[in-house]
Structure 1
């Protein structure tokens, strides 16, 4: 007996100004609209620091660097110090001299970290000198606070300073024994870290006596970067020199962070030169537009197998 097939009716086209539920979501998430913004659920902002000066370093200070500060300026000309983390994960504080510190690593966060931080900064800008900053429940769904991109001057430089410890927390403050004890405890957790001179968002770190890494937040689109890394890998040029190896990569806040294992007994600053050489090779590989060869495609598959996502 012949089998009859019932064809489903074609989905009706979306009305003018509406998005077809089965079409890719306009937000760029790669999901269908009905499973993304069309469902009433807003997925995490993929690149919360996009559009800010030094986006790659924002990601690094959020995910990689234990103790660091950077300079910010608001659109009305107020100078702000961005700290990788503040005591107890405090979102922000205003010192007695009026200096504002904004904490980047928060205890909780929502689906839009930029809005969380913008809400904290807006509250700090209104707080009197020396007073606690109360931005409300950071990380709460549906927060209506401003995003960083609305508050910060995009033309201001983003200069990063890596610190050996958290001594900058107490600069200019009267320190009691309890504060000293808390600072000493926090300092025990600091991993030796060096920002490689002349390179954007490239950091050496030593998590133990036997191993060290170079972690490099890359600003390029992921697909183009993976192709370039695959070209270097196939040519055996994805290295920082003798005794080093490409360990893999992770994604963080929409950017890819390649990682190299390096000898732990070499001072961190000495990896700036080899990393600059790799930067030149990578730029050349990024400029190539030819399709990947078979060897390069295999190398790319291997790179993907060693890639994970933090957020």
Structure 2
């Protein structure tokens, strides 16, 4: 009898531990993480929520027994984290920096539409927020294979919008290093005229630019005169600064996942800042995931 009671108590204890673990991992952990987030009060700022490399799972590579559970769990994680980030940040603009799908570049038309419906369901957003979509190599190819013109056109048709978008005093340029294309430069995009015009030029690119400049990147910087660049692809958070006077990198550092302070960067001192945004998916093989939140203010700084 004593042994039976001990076994019963052990089973109950294990059951309680399992239930507490499930509750923490499925519900409480998201609320705990929110307590670590930092927010800035700025009524005149343009707030930008940056989403990088969600890479929702497809059905060709993930075709093992029970793979539907992996897709469901990954989608659920993305939906839970994004909805909380959206509610917390209340952004004016949401920029998706590419690699929306894991198998977009190999998907047929039917699968592509299915993946897009999943994305729309995961990343549910109010209509009054500006959305910007960039293709990544997993969406249209370009890393280990060539970019397919038809696949590229399909993505652009699904997310129809111009390559230059303006929100208040911020101009966004969509640059595609995979296809080596960029929008035409505005006639008034001069580096030394920002303060007078009270404008900010922002480049959005899936593939990082400043680490490996080359002729294409040099032309992008010359023509578009950005103050800040947001990129993705590497699945980690980094900040890189280019001194335009010397054309040399002046600062490179990894943003610590254990610090929650806002980083403030001046944009009127002749430097161009590139901020790499980490993946928001736990499926990318990196221990640190997240979203980016930028405040572009009238004081010519970005946080």
User: What is the TM-score normalised by the length of structure 1?
Assistant: 0.25
Q: With CA pairs under 8 Å and 6+ residues apart, which has the higher RCO, 1 or 2?
A: 2
User: What is the TM-score normalised by the length of structure 2?
Assistant: 0.26
Greater Rg by CA: 1
